[in-house]
């Protein structure tokens, strides 16, 4: 084999090896990605999702929707003022969690379409709301600063 052909074989082998390594790396990232949705975006994408897929859902806690039971479980509705999603959470809620305030719930959906949250993030001051939620509220014409 000529030196020119050896060099070409080495370059092609290196490219194939990098492609294989990149594929493995991207597959590992795919398993750890957690996507953020508003309730409207979730309604559009839920047909493509499988039950148990981990995601973050953000919006406002609907007025009058927080219900607690004696076992420490809380049920509430997350809304972006155009769509609503039922969510449940078991555990201690952040102090700033209340009706009408921004919330991001991380968890997975069951077959009935209920979000079983494992983590609840409430807004930390008067000015914070996730950018995606603000954009959705502005698009629906219901944004109040």
What is the residue-wise DSSP string for 74-139? Answer: EEEEEE-SS-EEEEEEESPPPTT--TTSEEEEEEEE-TTS-EEEEEEEE-SSTT---HHHHHHHHH
* Predicted TM-score (pTM) of this structure: 0.67
pLDDT at 33 over 80: no
The pLDDT of residue 96 is: 85
Tokens in use for 42? 């979730």
How many Å apart are CA 75 and CA 85, to the nearest integer? 11
**Which strand (E) or helix (H) includes residue 12?**
helix 3-32
pLDDT, position 34: 75
CB atoms closer than 10 angstroms to residue 53: 12
% of the chain with per-residue pLDDT over 90: 36
Residue 119 to residues 3, 13, 94, Cα–Cα distance (Å): 59, 45, 10
Look up residue 140 and give its DSSP letter: H
pLDDT class of 26 with cuts at 50, 70, 90: confident
Model confidence at 126: pLDDT above 70: no
pLDDT at position 125:
52
What confidence tier does 124 reach under pLDDT thresholds 50, 70, 90?
Answer: low
pLDDT score at 144: 63
Cross-strand partners of 59: 103
CA–CA distance, 74 with 77 (Å, rounded to integer)? 10
Looking at per-residue pLDDT, the higher value among 133 and 37 belongs to 37
pLDDT digits (tens, 9 = 90+) for 62-104: 999 999 988 889 999 999 888 999 999 998 888 888 888 889 9
């Amino acid at each position: 084999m000529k030196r020119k052909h050896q060099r070409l074989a080495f370059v092609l082998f290196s490219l194939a090896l990098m492609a294989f390594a990149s594929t493995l790396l991207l597959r590992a990232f795919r398993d750890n990605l957690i996507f953020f949705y508003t309730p409207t975006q979730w309604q559009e994408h839920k047909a493509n999702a499988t039950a148990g897929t981990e995601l973050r859902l953000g919006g406002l806690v609907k007025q009058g929707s927080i219900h607690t039971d004696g076992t420490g479980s809380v049920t509430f509705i997350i809304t972006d003022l155009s769509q609503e999603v039922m969510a449940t959470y078991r555990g201690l809620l952040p102090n700033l969690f209340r009706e009408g305030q921004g919330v991001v719930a991380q968890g997975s959906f069951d077959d009935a379409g209920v979000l079983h949250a494992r983590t609840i993030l409430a807004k930390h001051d008067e000015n914070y709301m996730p950018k995606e939620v603000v954009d959705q509220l502005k698009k629906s014409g219901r944004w109040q600063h």
